[in-house]
Structure 1
Amino acid sequence: MKTKLVRIGNSQGIRIPKPVIEEIGLSDEIEMILKDNQIILRSAEQTRKGWDSAFERMAEEQDDQLIDKEKVETPSEWDETEWTW
């Protein structure tokens, strides 16, 4: 599909036909990636999307424990010699 650049103030842009927007599910916010001399447009992903449910599943399965608990809870040499309350 070919299109032309359109002047928008001091910038230029393109018009994306509505059927294309609907087909690929673009929302109001998009992500623009420049890669290998190409511009890639895609829906902006929500940061940490789905983390709440993932953490809930981890807690249910008791998979949310520290793997280095002993190392973290054992005082270091610095804790013993330098730290003061």
Structure 2
Amino acid sequence: MQTRLIRVGNSQGIVLPKKLLQQYHLSGEVELRPTPEGLLIAPVIRPVRQGWAAQMQAAMADGQEPEGELLEGFSDAKFEEDEWQW
């Protein structure tokens, strides 16, 4: 497949066909990597929970409890007192 470089402001770019964008799951941010064969365009994939472990360790180092804010105001005692209906 061939395409032309087009002027985009003071730079140049290319238009990628919709079929290629869908086939290679490209949208939003992409990563450009030079290779011996040419330029590789790859999707940027970020882990959903990236950085959570470091944030948890920093919070615990500051003396925060892991469940502190998440369970604030929740008491399992009330849950145990209520009768269950089947």
Identity of aligned residues (%): 31
**Structure 1 length-normalised TM:** 0.53
Partner secondary structure for residue 21 of structure 1? helix
Return structure 1 stretches of 4+ with deviation > 2 angstroms. Answer: none
**Structure 2 length-normalised TM:** 0.53
Paired residues, what number?
51
- 1:75 equivalent in structure 2: none
Distance 1:14 1:32 in 2: 13
Does residue 2 of structure 1 match 2:2? yes
Can you give the 5+ residue segments of structure 1 that lack an aligned partner in the other structure?
A: 56-85
Partner secondary structure for residue 33 of structure 1? strand
Instruction: Select the structure that is richer in helix.
Output: 1
User: What root-mean-square deviation, in Å, do the aligned CA atoms of Structure 1 and Structure 2 show?
Assistant: 1.9
Partner secondary structure for residue 26 of structure 2? coil
Can you give the 5+ residue segments of structure 2 that lack an aligned partner in the other structure?
A: 54-86
Q: Give the letter for the 2:29 counterpart.
A: E
Distance 1:50 1:6 in 2: 35
